[in-house]
């Protein structure tokens, strides 16, 4: 029983991180119908920002979250302004294809830029509490894992409130449903998309901070995290930003169980098998509701 509880605890902590990774990707995809293949690379940039704020300015990783998210927000705004805004008038299908191709090329540019700036070395943020665990009822919980879980909870709730309780949220939902009708109604669709893209990349930066303190970062290390984001979004269903958290938890629990029963080397294979299975048998997603707020 203790082993089962340990697996559940591990799955919940990892799943919370997966939800955090999926939120930004889901927001950009749901609102603007852009597939940002470079989302994993932006996660790495957030991790690098945290690494250098900690290494040179001695700012604790979790205290660096606000400046990191501000930096990444402006990177997201620049991404929309320079690249995505040119696709906004295209039909949805062509917009999806074009954004995928553009951001695929962007990966090569950003990865090589990161290598030139910071070399290809694998880095991580090591603090006084790195590796420390809290034991509750015989279950060992990593401090950074607990911190990531609470950050995921806080930000998924904040994003849900932003989308459901604010004028900006109403503008997002209107632009998502029908951008042309929203523009006729007086909503500045381009500004709504720009802010949404900024928030999506800022959330990638937040995930990068958690990854830098829990795992490691490298210029080419974004692809595995992109795959995780895509699996989470498929499980949640298109447009269901609010259901990204339970989808991330589900994926984390399934992976934790697979590590216990079939071994750690098959963890990614189990995730991809789940991804394919859902796409084939329930392509609308396990939590499909047909609304950006679920």
CA atoms of 240 and 147, how far apart (whole Å) = 25
Output the pLDDT for position 242: 79
For residues 165 and 283, the model is more confident at 165
Nearest to 221 by CA among 123, 132, 150, 128: 123
Q: With the C-alpha atoms ordered 5, 234, 104, 113, is the resulting torsion angle positive or negative? A: negative
- DSSP 8-class letter at 119: -
Only one residue has tokens 């216990």, namely 260
CA atoms of 211 and 216, how far apart (whole Å) = 6
pLDDT band at 91 (very low <50, low <70, confident <90, very high): confident
- Ramachandran assignment for 134, one of left (phi > 0), alpha (psi -120 to 50 degrees), beta (any other): beta
With contact defined as beta carbons under 8 Å apart, do 231 and 25 qualify? no
- Residues ≥6 apart with Cβ < 8 Å to 161: none
CA atoms of 72 and 66, how far apart (whole Å) = 10
What angle do the packed helices 39-57 and 92-118 form, to 10 degrees? 30
CA atoms of 252 and 161, how far apart (whole Å) = 25
Output the pLDDT for position 180: 86
Label residue 138 exposed, middle or buried (CB < 10 Å: 0-12, 13-18, 19+): exposed
The predicted model scores a pTM of 0.93
pLDDT at 291 over 60: no
CA atoms of 106 and 90, how far apart (whole Å) = 20
pLDDT band at 294 (very low <50, low <70, confident <90, very high): low
The residue ranges of every structural domain in the chain are 2-281
pLDDT single digits (tens) 233-282: 999 987 788 789 999 999 999 988 888 788 777 778 888 888 899 888 88
């Amino acid at each position: 029983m203790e082993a089962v509880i340990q697996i559940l605890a591990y799955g919940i902590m990892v799943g919370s991180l997966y939800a955090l990774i999926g939120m930004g990707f889901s927001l950009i995809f749901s609102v603007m119908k852009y597939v940002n293949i470079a989302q994993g690379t932006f996660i790495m940039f957030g991790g690098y920002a945290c690494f250098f704020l900690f290494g040179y300015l001695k700012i604790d990783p979790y205290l660096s979250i606000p400046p990191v998210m501000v930096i990444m927000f402006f990177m997201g705004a620049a991404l929309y302004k320079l690249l995505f805004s040119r696709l906004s008038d295209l039909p949805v299908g062509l917009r999806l294809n074009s954004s995928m191709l553009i951001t695929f090329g962007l990966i090569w540019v950003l990865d090589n830029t990161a290598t030139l700036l910071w070399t290809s070395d694998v880095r991580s943020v090591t603090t006084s509490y790195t590796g420390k665990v809290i034991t509750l009822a015989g279950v060992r919980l990593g401090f950074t894992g607990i911190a990531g879980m609470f950050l995921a909870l806080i930000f998924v709730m904040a994003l849900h409130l932003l989308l459901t309780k604010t004028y900006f949220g109403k503008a997002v939902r209107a632009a998502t449903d029908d951008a042309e009708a929203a523009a006729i109604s007086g909503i500045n669709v381009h500004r709504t998309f720009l802010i949404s893209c900024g928030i999506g990349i800022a959330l990638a930066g937040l995930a990068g901070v958690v990854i830098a303190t829990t795992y490691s970062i490298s210029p080419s290390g974004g692809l595995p995290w992109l795959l995780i984001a895509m699996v989470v979004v498929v499980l949640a269903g298109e447009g269901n930003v609010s259901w990204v958290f339970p989808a991330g938890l589900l994926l984390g629990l399934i992976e934790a169980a697979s590590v216990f029963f079939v071994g750690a080397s098959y963890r990614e294979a189990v995730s991809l098998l789940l991804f394919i299975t859902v796409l084939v048998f329930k392509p609308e997603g396990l939590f499909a509701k047909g609304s950006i707020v679920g």
